[in-house]
Amino acid sequence: MTRELGIGLIGTGFMGKAHAFAYRAALAAFPDIPVPRLEMIADVAPDLATKAAHQYGFARSTGDWRALVADPRVDVVSITTPNIFHKEMALAAIAAGKHVHCEKPLSPSLADSLAMVEAADKAGVVTQVGFNYIKNPLLKMARDMAAAGELGEITGFRGIHAEDYMHDPESPYSWRIDPAGGPGVIADLGSHIIGMARFLLGPIAEVSADVRTVVTSRPVARGARERKQVLVDDVARILVSFARGCGGTIEANWIATGRKMQLGFELTGEKGSLVFTQERLNELLLYKAGGDARTSGHVKIEAGPQHAPYGQFCIAGGHQLGFNDLKTIEMGEFLGAIGAGRKSSPDFREAYEIQKVVEASIASSRARGWVRVA
């Protein structure tokens, strides 16, 4: 397969840059995918788009995302703008027959997300949503081990995604906590750990959550005396019940002082367990029961070429992948799926399923009891 795919990237910020790195590296890592041709980049500020085109190697730039979506040389549209714009951009891209990568969450509203899923399904385009952390080679192995029964019957899951970028009550009010963008941390970080739980163990059937706003007001600007009431959540603590039967807990927290990337889990089965944290993303702890009691313990597995697709980046163990490499795996799989004419994962539908867990948790917190994930 040597077909090319013209890439159109909307947004040049944090995630725009990550997409650019990934599209630039994808073919070097995955030589069998269609060749990504960096066709056009858009930003609401045309000068930023021009600068980014130079920096990231895109052939053209534009201040008008609609021009990008409509461009006949663009086959794939990557959406990295704030959540409130996802729906309009994605629907336009789908309508133009483009394959679409969209950063999570799909949209602030579950109904809008469903509309996006249905439009993509109807158009038959390939979609992908940026749940990059599960692209970790060690997590792929973790999922396979759980699926193959290597840990025995699964008996529990404890998942966390905690960071501290909102821990300071004097951090000002911002777009991030504008309820127009949807819920707070439960959508921003919670969706990652919910997605990871589903990736590892399948659907979550029921939730009972405590979703809280802890910092109830914030200054309207850095140092301002005027404060504005905060309406979105800072912490979500969720009891979960998986469809497969086992229970667990999930926490999403953006006021977790000191934590920069506490995304991880302990997954326990009758015969073994796995412990992971994104803080040390190239390590996975494995315990297997039944060995020599004298020398049993958690094994610290270090990522290496024996954990596909690590070897696409480096043939030697111990060298380690970084965040942008995970994004490259994501893009490699997405482009590969387009080339092969099959669905990619996690796609719009999976993102919608994750969002349903988010919404059920919020509903549960209000109802002060268990709620089924519809």
Site for a second copy in 266-325 (CB under 8 A): 266, 268-273, 278-282, 286-287, 289, 293-302, 304, 306-307, 313-325
Nearer Cβ to a second copy, position 20 or 116? 20
> C-alpha 204: how far from its chain's center?
17
CB atoms < 10 A from the CB of 307, how many?
Answer: 21
> C-alpha 142: how far from its chain's center?
17
Cis peptide bond upstream of 346, omega within 30 = yes
Total residues at interface with a second copy (CB under 8 A): 99
CA atoms of 255 and 161, how far apart (whole Å): 11
> Which one among 247, 340, 343, 363 touches a second copy, defined by CB under 8 A?
247
Find the part of the chain contacting a second copy (CB under 8 A) among 112-120, 207-215, 220-228, 329-337: 207-215
Q: How far is the CB of 254 from a second copy (least distance, A)?
A: 11
Find the part of the chain contacting a second copy (CB under 8 A) among 3-11, 22-30, 83-91, 181-189: 22-30
Q: Which helix (H) or strand (E) holds 352?
A: helix 348-367
Q: How far is the CB of 211 from a second copy (least distance, A)?
A: 10
> Which one among 70, 85, 205, 241 touches a second copy, defined by CB under 8 A?
241
> Which one among 66, 88, 155, 172 touches a second copy, defined by CB under 8 A?
155
Q: Can residue 160 be called a binding residue for a second copy (CB under 8 A)? A: yes
Nearer Cβ to a second copy, position 127 or 132? 132
> Which one among 143, 198, 259, 349 touches a second copy, defined by CB under 8 A?
259
Entry field: residues in the chain: 374
By the 8 A CB rule, do 209 and 239 touch?
A: yes
Q: Can residue 369 be called a binding residue for a second copy (CB under 8 A)? A: yes
Nearer Cβ to a second copy, position 174 or 296? 296
189 token code pair: 């970080």
CA atoms within 13 A on the CB side of 43: 19
Task: Write out the DSSP string of 186-246.
Answer: HHHTHHHHHHHHHHHH--EEEEEEEEE--S-EEESSTT-S-EEE--S-SEEEEEEEETTS-
Q: How far is the CB of 69 from a second copy (least distance, A)?
A: 23
Nearer Cβ to a second copy, position 123 or 256? 256
CA atoms of 94 and 116, how far apart (whole Å): 9
Q: Burial of 93 by CB count in 10 Å (0-12 exposed, 13-18 middle, 19+ buried)?
A: buried
Q: Can residue 125 be called a binding residue for a second copy (CB under 8 A)? A: no
The residues in 52-111 that bind a second copy, with binding defined as CB under 8 A, are 54-57
Q: Can residue 337 be called a binding residue for a second copy (CB under 8 A)? A: no
Q: How far is the CB of 133 from a second copy (least distance, A)?
A: 10
> Which among 43, 318, 44, 95 has a CA at the least distance from the CA of 58?
43
Place of tokens 């109807």: 122
Q: Can residue 256 be called a binding residue for a second copy (CB under 8 A)? A: yes
Find the part of the chain contacting a second copy (CB under 8 A) among 102-110, 112-120, 204-212, 348-356: 204-212
> Which one among 44, 84, 205, 214 touches a second copy, defined by CB under 8 A?
214
